[in-house]
Amino acid sequence: MLATAKLLLTTFVGFIVIDYVWLNFVAKKFYIEQMSEVGRIQNGEFKPIIWAAIIVYILLALGIVYFILPQIEPGQGFLQVFLCGAFFGLICYGVYDMTNLSTLKSWPLALAAADMAWGAFVTGVVTVIAQYVKSL
């Protein structure tokens, strides 16, 4: 039970830290431009509903801990672990982005593609971190 809680906390914090850097520094301008019609943006800054964002990160952490990590064999290489997580991230972010693309008037294809690529990458990285913590 304690080991599972540690993994959940690790993945939760990993997502928040990495996503924060991505959305507030690395790709901020791109996301604000792309989401100008539909995003919660005030004075050039994202203003998300924090409780909803926390639920997203909890759900992603649960997915990694309960669906991805159990599929990883002990001793699997870094690349294989990353790819397992990245595939899960592509599915999760793909469902979100393709749903938005299909239902919202102003969800740009460029945003969907970039966000899906980012989702695959960040989920792959967080999966590697979680697998490392699990192995300790």
pLDDT tens digits, 5-35: 999 999 999 999 999 999 999 999 999 999 9
* pLDDT confidence bin for 64, thresholds 50/70/90: very high
Structure confidence at residue 72 (pLDDT): 97
Which residue range(s) make up the domain with 127?
2-135
Six token digits for residue 44: 């050039």
Per residue in 65-124, pLDDT (tens digit) is 999 999 999 889 999 999 999 999 999 999 999 999 999 999 999 999 999 999 999 999
Structure confidence at residue 126 (pLDDT): 99
Six token digits for residue 114: 């970039």
The answer to whether 25 touches 11, Cβ cutoff 8 Å, is no
**SS3 letters for 34-94?**
HCCCCCCEECCEECCCHHHHHHHHHHHHHHHHHHHHHHCCCCCCHHHHHHHHHHHHHHHHH
Structure confidence at residue 5 (pLDDT): 97
Structure confidence at residue 76 (pLDDT): 93
How many CB atoms lie under 10 A from the CB of residue 122? 21
Tallying the residues shown for the chain, one arrives at: 136
Structure confidence at residue 74 (pLDDT): 85
Structure confidence at residue 14 (pLDDT): 98
Distance from first CA to last CA of the chain, Å, rounded? Answer: 15
When divided into structural domains, the chain yields a total of 1
The structure's pTM equals 0.96
Structure confidence at residue 120 (pLDDT): 99
Rounded to whole angstroms, the Cα distance separating 105 from 129 reads: 37
